[in-house]
Amino acid sequence: MGPRSGKKARAPRTARGASDVADGAPSSRPSAKKTVSFPGLTSAKIHGAGRLDFVLDFVKFVAKPMPLSLLLDEAPRRIAEIVGADVASLYLLEGEGDELVLRGNIGFPQRARGTVRLPVGEGITGMAVECMKPISVVQASEHAAYRAFPELEEDRFPVFLAVPILGYQRAIGALVVQRAGDRAFNKSDVELIVALTAPIAAGIRHAQLLDDRERGTQRRTGGGTRKVTLPGVPCFPGRALGAIAALRRPASVPQGKSESEEPKLLHTAFDVVGKALGALVTRAALLGLSEGASFLDTYLLMVTDERMRGRAFKQIAEGRSVAQALGLVAREAARAANGIVGDPFLQDRARDIEDLCDALLMLAAPDARAELPSKAVLLGDQITVFDLLITSRAQPVGIALTERANGPRTKVLLQLMNVPAIADVAGAFRWAAPGDVALLDADHGFLVINPSRAEVATVRAERKNLPASPSPGSSLRANDAPISSRASLVATPRVVIVNVPLLSRDEPTEA
């Protein structure tokens, strides 16, 4: 054989991928073609594209201005591709800087976003943020700081790496990657992810996802045109755009109907409410909510109770208006409940009777002051059956509830309303006023006040891509159908959020 026959053949330059460059391989080194392999990536992604290509794409992605929702959706997915992870989660520091909230994720169910929360210092992620250093383990459950979330079934992905996202003076969040098996993230993986959190931090800052107190600014109660975003807990997924309207109830003031009309109107109101409640009970059963929605049976019994009807019609026969008659029925129930100290059942029943009387009043003698604009984003402290019966007639596009909405019925009621909804929005009435345009992102758990024109245009553009609505002029979600026929009408439109400052949950009010 010739003198050159003992040498290995050099791989053609065109066959050498970007990963060779990332590893610092000199171009003159004789070697066979290098095989690039990243767990979690498909062969189509691997072919012709090494890790450096994914890193460069990620850097270009985070370097440009973008909606906050896009950053939360795309950054975890791209990071998972780069390091071959099955799960990637983006936590943001909220409140007074002491709580981490999972806002972006790939690999876990959507319900994890906005609901998985960790105090700083708790769990491996909280410890990494507290120490401001990455923590990598092969078996997360064996770590002393590990905190389990059983609903996520995290034990499927024991290999765990938590990296704090560092801001100017403190951490502003955390990036967590997980995968199955027992192959730890190596030193180069850790160093790379630490480096990639810098452009993520810059992206968060560009979206102004920071506490306004860092800039020493305050906003007057309600009104204004400044864009702000308020964090909450997602309750029913989807995104919606509309004007803010506060949830309302009728006043107990006579509405001026003639005596001859009022008995007939009240009789019709009883019939309408009875049919609507029956349809709601059926729908709850179809959605598997029968146990949680058992309170609807109580309402159905009350509206068909002849004693309640007889008492109301007797008051009208004695010359009282519908408002006065129903108000008297509600007050009598309240007095009976309060007369027996410590009986929570009667107190709950009295509140239900009052709620039912309000609904009957709005049907029999509508109070213009309690009517809501159509296609609005509703804001309130709590939601009741009244809203299923009456408020839903205004076809709201979304619901945001304050931190006071902690009743056991809230979740079921929001599911039956079938519109995007979030709860635990602290200070909502301090920062939003009726008439303010709002974007409700119930996928991530944000209420954005005064979105930009570009965001509004995005909503309208995406609305064109939605399936045909059941009736003309429907909202972003399929909520225009009668209550009894909404069970199968579930859509999840997408809307974006741009340049919105995230406010502290305990922002001080102005005197």
**What is the rounded distance in angstroms from the CA atom of residue 50 to the CA atom of residue 16?**
10
Query: Token pair for residue 1?
Result: 């054989």
Q: Is 228 left (phi over 0), alpha (psi -120 to 50) or beta?
A: beta
Length of the chain: 511
Point out the least confidently predicted range of 34-43, 152-161, 203-212, 318-327.
34-43
**What is the rounded distance in angstroms from the CA atom of residue 318 to the CA atom of residue 5?**
116
159-166 and 171-179 strand pairing: antiparallel
Q: Where in the sequence of the chain do the CATH 1.10.274.10 domains occur?
A: 262-369
- The pLDDT of residue 507 is above 80: no
Q: Are 245 and 373 in contact (CB under 8 A)?
A: yes
Q: Where in the sequence of the chain do the CATH 3.50.30.10 domains occur?
A: 215-248+372-485
Point out the least confidently predicted range of 265-269, 407-411, 439-443, 462-466.
462-466
The model's pLDDT over 119-158, given as tens digits with 9 standing for 90+, comes to: 999 999 999 999 999 999 999 999 999 999 988 998 899 9
Q: Looking at domain 51-207, what is its CATH homologous superfamily? A: GAF domain (3.30.450.40)
The model's pLDDT over 467-489, given as tens digits with 9 standing for 90+, comes to: 543 333 333 333 333 333 333 33
Q: Taking the CB of residue 357, how many other CB atoms lie within 10 A of it?
A: 26
Question: What CATH fold (topology level) applies to the domain 262-369?
Answer: Enzyme I; Chain A, domain 2 (1.10.274)
**What is the rounded distance in angstroms from the CA atom of residue 189 to the CA atom of residue 425?**
37
Per-residue pLDDT band at 455 (split at 50, 70, 90): low
Q: So what's the pLDDT on residue 454?
A: 62
- The pLDDT of residue 451 is above 60: yes
The model's pLDDT over 66-91, given as tens digits with 9 standing for 90+, comes to: 778 888 989 999 999 999 999 999 99
Mean of pLDDT over the chain:
78
Point out the least confidently predicted range of 17-21, 183-187, 205-209.
17-21
Q: 279 versus 470: which is more confidently predicted?
A: 279
DSSP characters for 367-414? -GGG---TT-EEEES---HHHHHTGGGG--SEEEE-TT---TTHHHHH
Specify whether domain 215-248+372-485 bears CATH 3.50.30.10: yes
The model's pLDDT over 175-196, given as tens digits with 9 standing for 90+, comes to: 999 999 999 999 999 999 999 9
- pTM greater than 0.85 (yes/no): no
The model's pLDDT over 306-335, given as tens digits with 9 standing for 90+, comes to: 999 999 999 888 888 888 889 889 888 888
471 φ, ψ to 5°? -150, 155
Q: So what's the pLDDT on residue 66?
A: 74
Q: Are 377 and 437 in contact (CB under 8 A)?
A: no
Q: Taking the CB of residue 7, how many other CB atoms lie within 10 A of it?
A: 8
β-bridge partners, 240 = 440
The amino acid occupying position 450 is N
Q: Where in the sequence of the chain do the CATH 3.30.450.40 domains occur?
A: 51-207
